[in-house]
Amino acid sequence: MFSRMKIFTGNANVDLAREVSKFAGIPLGDAEVFKFSNDDSFVKINENVRGADVFVIQPTCYPVNDNLMELLIMVDALKRASARRITCVIPYYGYARSDKKDQPRVPITAKLVADLISVAGTDRVIAVDLHADQIQGFFDIPVDHLVSMPIFARYFKANFDLGNAVIVSPDSGGANRARAFAKRLNCALAIGDKRRVGNDDNAEILNIIGDVKGKTAILFDDMIDTGGSLCRIATVLMDQGATGIYAACAHGVLSGNAIEKLEASPIEKVFITNTVSLSQDKKQCSKIVQLSIAELLAIAIKKVHVEESISILFR
């Protein structure tokens, strides 16, 4: 059934691709992906893919432009090698926060990237926890949008006493996401009232809407980037009487001095998935706990290959 299914990866997150390959029972395809001395990226597929159903696992994380170009060039190489269908598995979608024109004369880069991926020859996309649902509509090809929420819910149910827990959305934009998580865990919900001042790392937490006094607060968001907003809201939660603070974010981007901020914050543990590859120093942070989405991706890949529904993965 899976004889003409192949899985390839670029350099963005090789460990995740190997884990997905292991769960799927399909060996990683043989491909060379590297840079010439002049900084040009190059891809060579070293095996026959004619007529094959090919899946390319490549998050467009740091370095974003390099990993995006690897993905586009790999798709082009596979298309020219006569692959029957090419599905890009993008666990982390770079430029996702540029999803609207919220200022004069700015781009909608998330749409531009979607166009590039489509035009390169991609037939389908599998994404995980997109920053905004409307990004699915930026593509003119089918998009399967997976969520890591069931993985987090399973972990918290097994390892936490949730009787006195409250799920906290850092801002109103993520309220629907946090509300769905609170419903899964049968917990109360609180929302941070946040106002951005200047750049993305400069946000003022004005208030917490909801009761957090004497409760274990679990911050829930799609990503942690610089960590500024998350650490600030954690401080406000502590000031308002929360007895313990944890965070769960699908994508651990952890750019800039995010690790230093987390270490100095009142957050006890930050749970992330392995959509983004962590450097060794980030892995050594005592507050970071990484959960794997490899099995989720492997099941999705196999179901897409045999044209089955993937709705069971949301339960």
Query: Which tokens go with 296?
Result: 């989720």
pLDDT of residue 8: 98
pLDDT of residue 18: 98
pLDDT of residue 224: 96
> Going residue by residue through the chain (315 aa), what tens digit of pLDDT does each one get?
556 999 999 999 999 999 999 999 999 999 999 999 999 999 999 999 999 999 999 999 999 999 999 999 999 999 999 999 999 999 999 999 999 998 999 999 999 999 999 999 999 999 999 999 999 999 999 999 999 999 999 999 999 999 999 999 998 888 999 999 999 999 999 999 876 665 555 556 668 999 999 999 999 999 999 999 899 999 999 999 999 999 999 999 999 999 999 999 999 999 999 999 999 889 899 999 999 999 999 999 999 999 999 988 887
In the chain the domains, ranked by start, together with CATH numbers, are 5-147+294-314 (3.40.50.2020), 149-291 (3.40.50.2020)
How many whole angstroms separate alpha carbon 123 and alpha carbon 18? 23
> Active site includes 303?
no
What region, left, alpha or beta, does residue 129 occupy, with left being phi > 0 and alpha being psi -120 to 50 degrees? left
How many whole angstroms separate alpha carbon 165 and alpha carbon 163? 6
- The CA-based angle 157-161-165, given to 5 degrees, is 95
pLDDT of residue 193: 83
pLDDT of residue 127: 98
Strand bridging mode 216-224 / 244-252: parallel
Q: Which helix (H) or strand (E) holds 230?
A: helix 228-239
Catalytic member of 6, 111, 194, 261: 194
Place of tokens 């007529």: 51
Q: How many CB atoms lie within 10 A of CB 181?
A: 24
